[in-house]
Structure 1
Amino acid sequence: MQVEVAERLPAEVVQEVRGLLAAALAADGVRPVSEESELRLQHGGPVGGVDVTARDDAGTLLGYARLELPPGDPEAEAELVVAPGSRRRGVGTALAARLEELAADRPLRVWAHGELPGSAELARRRGYDRARVLLQMRRPLDDVDPAPEVALPAGVSVATFRPGTDEDAWLRVNVRAFAAHPEQGRWTRGDLALREAEAWFDPAGFFLAWREEPEGPRLLGSHWTKVHPAGEVGDEPIGEVYVLGIDPDAQGMRLGRALTDLGLAHLRAAGLSAVLLYVEEDNTAAVALYERSGFTRHAVDVSWRRPADRG
């Protein structure tokens, strides 16, 4: 088996990997890597990121991994996937061993999407501990009013996102709203631009709450929705509460509820029958809030962590 590392894969290999990802999705019913890893596979990523491929002696692609080694970050993070027909043949072990070598003296976190039995086996066998759990929650939309009357605080109005105009304001609030979040709070203008260029991006489903102030309108929060096509996360198209963020200074104004209602109404009006969202399992307040709003637990993603001194 040949395991190779590249800072950027050639276009033809990117297409090979995308085919492998599609095969894994069809076999397992869950996306094998995150949206972020797919974007970095296709467009490249920040300094320190690499793509890792595993092939047999005939050159057939057996597995893929994406590793992030950000300069200055004390830990490394990765995702890996093995082709459905090549599992339990040592491919996952070979990829994991190479990721560990590349991580060197950094602890390594590896995401397992859907918590499939094979991923848990591999992680425990190689000395990883279950470190972080991301819940996917879902709820039906059949009881959602597609044209709700939303109560907003005095001086606050909601408008949809204006590409080319609202990026900087949205990024400022995103950083503040997700200051403690290890991924979302680090988004840059480039991260936002990549998503605006994706086929699924629809500014009509991206709601921003503004307050008129003496110095001009100030963004207080937003609800960015997304629509997954049939086959991506289910047999039918499904909506997502993609990013819901409120500026800390605007907490307590019930903007989160108002923006959520507007987003769900938009998805319902688009003809969708269900919506999903992701939330940290240990964020018990948010989980309880979503459960009261009709969401139930559907699946989990697990981050497994291997200390640097576990050789």
Structure 2
Amino acid sequence: MSSTEPTADRIVRADRLAPVEVAEVLALARVAGDTDGADPLDEHVLLRLRDPEAAAVHLTARATDNTLTGYAHLDTTDPANGIGVELVVHPTYRRRGTGRALARGVLAAASGPLRAWAHGDHPSAAALAVDLGFARARVLWQLRRPLIAALPEPPLPDGVQLRAFRPGEDDAAWLTLNNAAFAQHPEQGRWTSADLRVRLTEPWFDPAGFLLAVDSVTGRLLGFHWTKVHERPGSARIGEVYVLGVDPSAHRGGLGKALTAAGLTYLRDRRGLDRVMLYVDESNTRAVGLYEGLGFARWAAHVNYQLGGLTS
């Protein structure tokens, strides 16, 4: 991607992809992820790829034999707050200008400020970002820990009990709590009922692994730990602390630590996993400290680059 040589690939812009094209993009992303050790497209993009109604711009790069050599996704849902960009080049076709051509296609297609993720913080992505005037603005850490090691067992605060999420019954209350817990978060704090619903229909969704902390008397939701299990042919299974949140009024009572431990125990004892990961913003020092205190260590970094009119 850092090559300055012009590419012979054909760059095509589209507002929709045919199912066969979506399959090609997913296959390309799997190969790139296996090669780089970090998936190039995040869950949000993968969900949008499968949604024909999602507002997006797709850029595909194809060699002279029509092989898909690269792909860029522009999420145009909210241009004023930054068009989300993710870009991937097939490992076999790197260092021949494809990434740069796609990036210039992104600039030509964009009508507002940009937020571009570089998963894995690869040097080629950093070089390309600098060349095109993007600024490094945010770092998301992936942390991991083994589950075969002893797990902490912090108690729940008095008057709090755990139960499983009930699809269709807890949706509205959970959305309210989630958006309050992540009010300052650029992605998680803006979830809608549609965002929740699409994940509840994913093959990996397991309500038993979606733990809710509730007031024992009133039943009010106080916090949650939503776990996820990643299963891909040819790869070892790994659990994830998918989303963990606590009502702002319930902070500093140990609930976050207790919820984390409960989810880890579920992934080990109920799902038979031996390792787990999570994502956390580098700037969220409180959360980083919580997770490192629970035995997590840094595994990889994902960097967000920004261009034009954004302050965070």
Q: TM-score, normalised by structure 1?
A: 0.91
Residue 287 of structure 1 aligns to a residue in which SS? helix
2:198 matched to 1:191? no
Match in the other structure for 1:302: 303
Residue 198 of structure 1 aligns to a residue in which SS? coil
Q: Which amino acid counterpart does residue 201 of structure 2 have in structure 1? A: A
Match in the other structure for 1:224: 226
Match in the other structure for 2:48: 40
Indicate conservation of the 8 Å contact 1:67/1:79, yes or no. yes
**Distance between the aligned counterparts of 2:223 and 2:90, measured in 1?**
41
Match in the other structure for 1:30: 38
- Shift in alpha-carbon separation, 1:187–1:159, aligned structure 2, 3 A: same
Match in the other structure for 1:277: 278
Residue 217 of structure 1 aligns to a residue in which SS? coil
**Distance between the aligned counterparts of 1:191 and 1:132, measured in 2?**
23
Once the two structures are TM-superposed, the CA of residue 7 in structure 1 deviates from its matched residue by 2.2
2:92 matched to 1:85? yes
Q: Work out the percentage of aligned pairs sharing the same amino acid.
A: 50
Aligned CA RMSD, in angstroms, stands at 2.0
Q: Deviations over 1:168-192 (max 9, x none)?
A: 1111100000000000011111111
Match in the other structure for 1:4: 12
Match in the other structure for 1:205: 209
**Distance between the aligned counterparts of 2:104 and 2:169, measured in 1?**
46
Indicate conservation of the 8 Å contact 2:163/2:212, yes or no. yes
Match in the other structure for 1:114: 120
**Distance between the aligned counterparts of 2:209 and 2:248, measured in 1?**
23
**Distance between the aligned counterparts of 2:103 and 2:24, measured in 1?**
20
Indicate conservation of the 8 Å contact 1:5/1:51, yes or no. yes
Moved over 6 A (4+): none
Once the two structures are TM-superposed, the CA of residue 57 in structure 1 deviates from its matched residue by 3.1
- Shift in alpha-carbon separation, 1:225–1:184, aligned structure 2, 3 A: same
Match in the other structure for 1:249: 249
**Distance between the aligned counterparts of 2:107 and 2:233, measured in 1?**
33
Q: Which amino acid counterpart does residue 26 of structure 2 have in structure 1? A: R
- Shift in alpha-carbon separation, 1:65–1:248, aligned structure 2, 3 A: same
Once the two structures are TM-superposed, the CA of residue 75 in structure 1 deviates from its matched residue by 2.1
Match in the other structure for 2:5: none
Once the two structures are TM-superposed, the CA of residue 291 in structure 1 deviates from its matched residue by 1.3
Structure 2, unmatched stretches of 5+, are 1-8
Q: Which amino acid counterpart does residue 282 of structure 1 have in structure 2? A: S
Residue 299 of structure 2 aligns to a residue in which SS? strand
Once the two structures are TM-superposed, the CA of residue 143 in structure 1 deviates from its matched residue by 2.7
- Shift in alpha-carbon separation, 1:71–1:266, aligned structure 2, 3 A: closer
Match of 1:159 among 160, 163, 166: 163
Indicate conservation of the 8 Å contact 1:41/1:51, yes or no. no
Once the two structures are TM-superposed, the CA of residue 308 in structure 1 deviates from its matched residue by 6.2
Q: Which amino acid counterpart does residue 101 of structure 1 have in structure 2? A: A
Q: Which amino acid counterpart does residue 208 of structure 1 have in structure 2? A: L
Q: Which amino acid counterpart does residue 262 of structure 2 have in structure 1? A: L
Match in the other structure for 1:181: 185
**Distance between the aligned counterparts of 2:192 and 2:81, measured in 1?**
20
Match in the other structure for 1:143: 149
Residue 130 of structure 1 aligns to a residue in which SS? strand
Indicate conservation of the 8 Å contact 2:79/2:113, yes or no. no
Once the two structures are TM-superposed, the CA of residue 45 in structure 1 deviates from its matched residue by 5.8
Q: Which amino acid counterpart does residue 307 of structure 2 have in structure 1? A: R
Q: Which amino acid counterpart does residue 276 of structure 2 have in structure 1? A: V
Once the two structures are TM-superposed, the CA of residue 211 in structure 1 deviates from its matched residue by 1.1
**Distance between the aligned counterparts of 2:287 and 2:157, measured in 1?**
22
Indicate conservation of the 8 Å contact 1:144/1:265, yes or no. no
- Shift in alpha-carbon separation, 1:72–1:124, aligned structure 2, 3 A: closer
- Shift in alpha-carbon separation, 1:124–1:109, aligned structure 2, 3 A: same
How many corresponding residue pairs?
Answer: 301
**Distance between the aligned counterparts of 1:19 and 1:132, measured in 2?**
28
Q: Which amino acid counterpart does residue 177 of structure 1 have in structure 2? A: A
Q: TM-score, normalised by structure 2?
A: 0.90
Structure 1, unmatched stretches of 5+, are none
- Shift in alpha-carbon separation, 1:144–1:202, aligned structure 2, 3 A: farther
